[in-house]
Chains A and B, each alone.
Chain A
Amino acid sequence: MHIRLKIWRQENSQDTGKMQDYALADVNPDMSFLEMLDMLNEQLLGQGQRAIEFDHDCREGICGQCGVMINGRAHGPLKNTTTCQLHMRSFRDGDTIYIEPFRATAFPVKCDLKIDRTAFDRVIQAGGYISVNTGQAPEANSIPVGHPIAEAAFDAAACIGCGACVAVCKNSSAALFTSAKITHLVLLPQGAVEAQERVRHMVDQMDAEGFGHCSNTEACEAECPQQISVLHIARMNWEYNKAQLLKK
C-alpha cells in the first residue's frame, strides 16, 4: 500500500503547530495503525528528522494510552476500537489519512499527537476511590455481591480512560468517563458508603477541569473502545441530583 498522511506537528505545548504532509510506500495492510506510525518514524529518524510523538503502551486495546483522531473520527473509522487495534486494511491504497491529537481545552497538546490527560486523573482523585483501612486483604465472600450487580459494576469499571468520549463530543464533555467510575462504585456495597460525597466531588472536579455539558448525543458510546453505556451518564445525573437534594 502507498498512503499519504497529514499529521499534526507541534514542538511543545507553547508551539502553535500545523498539519504536515508525509508519504509512505510499501505499507503492509496487516500492520496495525501504530506500526505504520513506527515505520514512518523509522524513516524520519533515518533522514535526521524529529520522530512524531504519540502515546501508546500495551498495543492490545486494554490500556487506554493510544488515541488519536484519524480522518476526523476518534480512534479511526471503526466503532468501539482503540487506535492500536485499527489495522491498515481498514484503509485503501492511495488514501490520504489525517491524524490529529484528541482536542479539548482540558486536554492540552504536549507534543505532536501527545496530549495531557491528567485532568482525568484529578477527576478520579476527587472521589473515584473507596476509603478503607489498609492491611491484609479481607475475605472476599464476607460482603455478598450478586452476580448481575458484579457484572454491571465491572461493565462500568471497564473504562480505560482513553479520552475518546471527550474527543468525539461536540461539547468536550467528560460525562461518560466520570459517570462510568461513579456507577462502578455506587453499585457495590463498598462504594455505596461514600456515594453522595463522591458524586458531588467528582462532578465539581469535572467542571473545574473545563469539560463541557453533556448534550446526550450519544456519540461517546459509539466511539468508546469499551462500549461504556450512556446510561451511566443518566445514573450519574440521578446520583448527583439525589446527593444535592439530601446534602446537609
Chain B
Amino acid sequence: MGQWTQKTLTRKNWMAFTGLFLCFFLVIHLLGNLQLLLPDERAHLQFNAYSHLLSGNILIKIISWVLYASIIAHVVYAVIITLTNKRAGDVKYHYDRRGEVSKWYTRNMGLLGTIIFIFLVIHFRDFWYVYKFGSLPLDAQGNKDLYTLVVAVYSETWYVLLYVLCMVALCYHLLHGFFSAARTLGVYHPRYVQWIRVIGWIYSVGICAGFALIPIYVHFLK
C-alpha cells in the first residue's frame, strides 16, 4: 500500500461521517414530508410553500451541496472498500457457513446500499429533477405545485410498493449503518454502546416507518 493510499480506518471514518450526515438529513427530510399528512387544502399550500422556502434559502443550498457530496463520497468509498475487501479474501471456502455467526444485513450493506441507490435515482428523477428543471404548474399562492405531482405519483400502486420495499432496505441499512458508524468513530464505552444500539433501532424503524407511511397514506386517502 503506497504512501498516498488512505488507511482502512480513514476510509471507514469517511463512510461514517458521510453516513451520519445522511442520517441527519433523513430526519429533516421526513419532518418536512410529514406535512403531506395534513388535511388536503392545508397540505397542498403548506407543502408547496415549504418547498419554495427550501429552494430559495442559501443555507439550505449549502446543505444540499454537502448532501450531494456525501451521497457521492459514500458510494465511492463503498466501492473502494468493497474492492479492497475482495482482494483481502480472494479465495472462497468450498463449504461456507460463516453466516451463522453474524446477521445477514450486516454482511450485505453493499447490496442494501445498491437498492437504496437505485431508489435514489428514481426518486431524484421523479421529484428533484422535475422540481428543479421541469415545468411545474403554479398553485394558488404562486409556488410550484409539487404537492399535486406527489399525489399523482403516489396514486400508482406499483410505485407505492416499490417505495415501501426500498424503505425496508433502507431500514436494515440504517440499522447496521448507524451503529457501525459509531463503532468506526470509536465509541467503545459499554454503556454508550448500549445506548447507541437502542437509539439506532428507534431511529431506523422510526425514519423508515415514517417514510413508508406517507405514500401509503397518500395512495389510499387522497
Q: Which residues of A contact B (CB under 8 A)?
A: 6, 8, 19, 69, 71-74, 79, 98, 100, 103-106, 168-173, 203-204, 206-208, 210-219, 222-223, 230-242, 244
Query: Are A100 and B94 in contact, CB atoms less than 8 angstroms apart?
Result: yes
- Which B residues touch A238, using CB under 8 A? 185-188
- Which B residues touch A241, using CB under 8 A? 9, 13, 185-186
Of chain B, the residue at the smallest CB distance from A18 is B94
Nearest Cβ on chain B to A81's Cβ, whole angstroms: 12
Interface-located stretch among B31-39, B96-104, B129-137? B96-104
- Which B residues touch A105, using CB under 8 A? 87-91
Query: Are B187 and A170 in contact, CB atoms less than 8 angstroms apart?
Result: no
- Which A residues touch B182, using CB under 8 A? 234
Nearest Cβ on chain B to A105's Cβ, whole angstroms: 5
Nearest Cβ on chain A to B179's Cβ, whole angstroms: 7
- Which A residues touch B185, using CB under 8 A? 237-238, 241
Asked if B58 lies at the interface with its beta carbon under 8 angstroms from chain A, I say: no
Asked if B157 lies at the interface with its beta carbon under 8 angstroms from chain A, I say: no
- Which A residues touch B90, using CB under 8 A? 105
Query: Are A210 and B87 in contact, CB atoms less than 8 angstroms apart?
Result: yes
Which residue of B8, B10, B100, B187 contacts A206 across the interface (Cβ within 8 Å)?
Answer: B8
Q: Which residues of B contact A (CB under 8 A)?
A: 1, 7-13, 81, 84-85, 87-98, 100-103, 106-107, 109, 176, 179-180, 182-188, 190, 193
Of chain A, the residue at the smallest CB distance from B179 is A216
- Which A residues touch B100, using CB under 8 A? 73
Of chain A, the residue at the smallest CB distance from B106 is A217
A sample of 26 inter-chain contacts (CB < 8 A) reads: A98-B95, A100-B93, A103-B89, A104-B89, A105-B87, A168-B98, A169-B89, A170-B89, A171-B89, A207-B7, A212-B84, A212-B88, A213-B12, A214-B184, A215-B106, A215-B107, A216-B176, A216-B179, A217-B103, A217-B106, A218-B102, A223-B101, A231-B190, A234-B193, A235-B188, A236-B9
Nearest Cβ on chain A to B113's Cβ, whole angstroms: 12
- Which A residues touch B180, using CB under 8 A? 215-216
Which residue of A215, A230, A235 contacts B186 across the interface (Cβ within 8 Å)?
Answer: A235
Query: Are A73 and B98 in contact, CB atoms less than 8 angstroms apart?
Result: yes
Nearest Cβ on chain B to A4's Cβ, whole angstroms: 13
Given contacts A72-B98, A216-B176, contact A240 B93 (CB under 8 A): no
Nearest Cβ on chain A to B190's Cβ, whole angstroms: 7
Q: Complex: how many Å from CA A112 to CA B47?
A: 67
- Which A residues touch B12, using CB under 8 A? 213-214, 237
- Known contacts A104-B89, A217-B107, then 10 further A-B pairs from the complex at CB < 8 Å, ordered by chain A residue: A71-B95, A74-B98, A103-B89, A103-B92, A170-B89, A213-B11, A213-B85, A214-B12, A241-B185, A241-B186
- Which B residues touch A213, using CB under 8 A? 8, 11-12, 81, 84-85
Nearest Cβ on chain A to B193's Cβ, whole angstroms: 6
- Which B residues touch A69, using CB under 8 A? 93, 95
